[in-house]
Amino acid sequence: MKKMKVRQIENGTVIDHIAAGKALYIAQLLHLVESSLFVIGSNLQSSKFGKKDIIKIENYNLSDAEKHSIALISPTASFIQIQDFEVVSKERAHIPDVIEYLIVCPNHKCITNIEVMSSRFVINKNNMSVRCAYCEKKYTVDEVKFKRLI
Amino acid sequence: MNNLISMRDLSKAEILQIVEVAEKIESGKLKVNIPDKVAALLFFEPSTRTLFSFDTAVKRLGGKTLIMTGTGNTSVKKGETFADTLQTISQYSDIIIMRSPTEGAARYASEVVEIPVINAGDGANQHPTQALLDLYSIKKTQGTLENLKIGVVGDLKFGRTVHSLCQALGEFNPKFYFASPSHLKMPGYILDDLDDRKIDWHEDRNMETFIDELDILYVTRIQKERFADVEDYNKVKGSYVLKKDMLDDVKPNFKVLHPLPRVDEIHTDVDDTQYAYYFPQARNGVFTRQAIISILLGEV
Ligand SMILES: [Zn+2]
């Protein structure tokens, strides 16, 4: 497989080392389709992980909440800040112990789906499961939906 | 301890404190008197026994109760939010005791109001005072909570009380024996939890194979509605009924517990034996709830 170059950006953010196949989901979550100028690279060769996805977003800085969601979906992701075609910062995805608001509890009987309130999930990093702090049900990251971020 | 929402929140020390205070209240060594305190009992789902048990507990402590019952969701009426309802009620009362079909409702309530909240059952999730009264009953009959052999029989899949019981006993090095119809087995996530905590468990199709080894047998009801087919129900239900003739070789300290109401899963011929403990167990619920209320109100 030949190494493919993805167009350089002048200012913005590169989300690198996304687990292969997850970039489109992340792009949807970030509303990229409707808003920003962005490029997705899928199934690229990665020296570290075999195959990876990458997203480059022009003129966009990720919020902490966005980084947390991305970290849960793909813990291997890293975030690169670009200014004037130069890398100004690089950070690896960080999974928080507790995540507020971002996850929608799949349990219909859960209070978080009935009242207007923020959800709260406790993350188990060992097996990447999440537990609702309210109904206490445990899910894998793949079983939950993320709130679409504004 | 500011609230009692889930067994998950309780440390072993806190469990033991509740059991100890219940013992002292029952024996009369500890007298708590709270004539100026008002407990709001909010039951958004009917449960007469639990309501009566809490009502009695508050009154035995000399306190007063406000009772609100109703069905349906937490948002009570006239479009008022649940949070507003709780805020308002908390202005009239010193503690809220709440039952709701909505899972997590008590946790949410405890985050909204300043006064202590007791979860009296939130859907299929938690019913911590039931688990604690079960522990109190076990302690009272066995003298200890440590290293016991506990059999659990009936509907282990949907039985919230047995899940909480397993969780609560986890700190005390138990060995569990489970017997249930094949489609009502203990859920995998509970068994995983037990494995994570290195707790020994054993699963069987019927209880006869292990009943003679047990210190405690916890029986739960198998509901007809859990079966797709009445035939299937009729086929299995007899296998999970405890009868007197099964008790011939049980250990002398053996006791049978049941969260009540019983239908026919314990034959009435067991009632007169020394092993039946389900009615005293219900009585223990009052002492346990007195203890919890006293602790949360800072009286102990
Ligand atoms: Zn939930």
Domain of residue B264, CATH code: 3.40.50.1370
DSSP B30-64: S----TT-EEEEEESS--HHHHHHHHHHHHHTT-E
Please state, in angstroms and rounded to a whole number, the distance separating the CA atoms of residues A98 and A95: 9
A2 has a pLDDT exceeding 50: no
A1 has a pLDDT exceeding 80: no
Angle at B245 between CA B241 and CA B246, to 5 degrees: 60
pLDDT digits (tens, 9 = 90+) for B37-59: 999 999 999 999 999 999 999 99
Both B152 and B199 in a single domain?
Answer: yes
Task: Determine contact: B125 vs chain A, CB below 8 A.
Answer: yes
| Partner residue opposite A110 with nearest CB, options B81, B104, B126 | B104
Both B106 and B81 in a single domain?
Answer: yes
Both B112 and B133 in a single domain?
Answer: no
Both B238 and B275 in a single domain?
Answer: yes
Residue B171 is assigned to a structural domain of this protein: yes
Looking only at the bridges linking them, the beta strands covering A129-132 and A120-124 are antiparallel
Q: Are the C-beta atoms of B295 and B17 separated by less than 8 Å?
A: yes
Please state, in angstroms and rounded to a whole number, the distance separating the CA atoms of residues B211 and B217: 8
Q: What pLDDT does B75 receive?
A: 53
What distance in Å separates residue B290's CA from the closest CA in chain A?
26
Residue B63 is assigned to a structural domain of this protein: yes
Residue B1 is assigned to a structural domain of this protein: no
Both B135 and B238 in a single domain?
Answer: yes
Confidence grade of residue B78 (pLDDT, cut at 50, 70, 90): low
Instruction: Give the sign of the dihedral formed by CA B26, CA B32, CA B34, CA B39.
Output: negative
SS3 state at A91: strand
What are the helix and strand counts (H, E) for chain A?
2, 11
Residue-averaged pLDDT of chain A: 88
Both B46 and B159 in a single domain?
Answer: no
Residue B142 is assigned to a structural domain of this protein: yes
pLDDT digits (tens, 9 = 90+) for A9-26: 899 999 999 999 999 989
Would you call A111 and B108 a contact, using CB atoms and an 8 Å cutoff? yes
Residue of A114, A116, A138 for testing the chain B interface, max B β-carbons within 10 Å: A114
Token pair 């506990």 is found at B150
Q: How many domains would you assign to chain B?
A: 2
Residue B203 is assigned to a structural domain of this protein: yes
Q: Where does chain B have alpha helices with state H?
A: 12-27, 48-60, 82-92, 105-112, 128-142, 160-169, 188-196, 230-237, 278-296
What distance in Å separates residue B99's CA from the closest CA in chain A?
13
Would you call B102 and A137 a contact, using CB atoms and an 8 Å cutoff? no
Would you call B126 and A136 a contact, using CB atoms and an 8 Å cutoff? yes
Confidence grade of residue B285 (pLDDT, cut at 50, 70, 90): very high
Both B173 and B275 in a single domain?
Answer: yes
Both B132 and B277 in a single domain?
Answer: yes
Angle between helices B128-142 and B278-296 (to 10 degrees): 120
Confidence grade of residue B72 (pLDDT, cut at 50, 70, 90): low
Residue B17 is assigned to a structural domain of this protein: yes
A6 has a pLDDT exceeding 60: no
- Per CB-CB distance under 8 Å, the chain A contacts of B7 are none
Both B233 and B186 in a single domain?
Answer: yes
Residue B143 is assigned to a structural domain of this protein: yes
Please state, in angstroms and rounded to a whole number, the distance separating the CA atoms of residues A18 and A93: 10
- pTM (2 d.p.): 0.90
Max distance between CA atoms of chain B, in angstroms, equals 60
pLDDT digits (tens, 9 = 90+) for B131-151: 999 999 999 999 999 999 999
Distances (CA, A) of B246 to A84, A85, B21, B251, B270: 82, 80, 35, 12, 10
Confidence grade of residue B237 (pLDDT, cut at 50, 70, 90): confident
Angle between helices B128-142 and B160-169 (to 10 degrees): 60
Residue B2 is assigned to a structural domain of this protein: no
Mean pLDDT for B92-114 is 97
Distances (CA, A) of A67 to A54, A92, B187: 14, 10, 34
Both B119 and B132 in a single domain?
Answer: no
Q: Which of A112-116, B36-40, B222-226, B294-298 has the lowest mean pLDDT?
A: B222-226
Number of C-alpha atoms within 13 angstroms, CB side, residue A53?
18
- Give CB contacts under 8 A, 24+ apart, made by B205-209: B205/B179, B205/B239, B206/B179, B206/B239, B206/B240, B207/B151, B207/B153, B207/B177, B207/B179, B207/B240, B207/B242, B207/B246, B208/B246
pLDDT digits (tens, 9 = 90+) for A28-80: 888 877 767 888 888 888 877 789 999 999 998 898 888 998 999 999 999 99
Residue of A104, A107, A115, A120 for testing the chain B interface, max B β-carbons within 10 Å: A115
Q: What is the ipTM, given to two decimal places?
A: 0.91
The amino acid that residue B1 corresponds to is M
Would you call A136 and B108 a contact, using CB atoms and an 8 Å cutoff? no
Residue of B155, B100, B156 whose CA lies nearest to B123: B100
Tokens of B48: 């007469």
Catalytic residues of B: 49-50, 78, 99, 127
Both B220 and B136 in a single domain?
Answer: yes
Confidence grade of residue B62 (pLDDT, cut at 50, 70, 90): very high
Residue-averaged pLDDT of chain B: 94
Range of the domain at B50: 7-126+284-296
Both B145 and B216 in a single domain?
Answer: yes
Any idea how long chain A is?
A: 150
Instruction: Give the sign of the dihedral formed by CA B65, CA B70, CA B74, CA B79.
Output: negative
Query: A2 or A138, which is more confident?
Result: A138
On the question of a cis peptide bond just before residue B128, with omega within 30 degrees of 0, the verdict is no
